[in-house]
Amino acid sequence: MMEWVRELPLIPAVAFLYVVIWLRAGATYLLGRGARKAADRGRMAAFLHSPGVERATEMINRWGAPVVALSFLTVGFQTAANAAAGLTGMPARRYAPALAVGGLAWAFIYATVGLVAIRAWFELFIISPWGAVGVLGVLVVLVAVLLRHRRRTGGTLGEPQPARVDQPPVD
């Protein structure tokens, strides 16, 4: 992505990337919906309305939202997942929440550590699945410790702030 995005403060960078992913993934989904409508005429209509295709479409529409959301944590699969959601006619009421969650995760990751860290983790997973799970566990514990510290100290890294009047002191 453009270098100037990396120079932005975190919140504006995430917000910008979130808009980008909504536009890009949403357009891919809409192109898939358009292709489905175009194919739903003529010879393809009989195939698209066959019992097998309708069962598969229903299953994807029902259970595909988590796949769409998780696709944003991959490289290369997200476009296919968004197009497939459109091609199968996934209702927007199921697609939009998946895009909202997955897109926010993508924007946050891309604005912070970037996809290099995600690729490195996947490469580690291929070499050593237990090592990759261990790294993920360490990251979860680190985030939990930092959040707990922030909650206890009011976000400062130095001296703890005095307790507010409406709160009991922290032991």
Instruction: Tell whether the model's pLDDT for residue 32 goes beyond 60.
Output: yes
Token reading at 69: 């959301």
pTM value?
Answer: 0.61
Token reading at 94: 């199921």
Domain ranges of the chain: 3-113, 115-153
Of 101, 106, 97, the residue nearest 72 (C-alpha):
106
pLDDT for residue 89: 87
* More confident of the two residues 50 and 17: 17
pLDDT digits (tens, 9 = 90+) for 43-94: 778 777 788 778 777 877 777 888 888 888 877 788 888 888 888 889 999 9
pLDDT for residue 171: 56
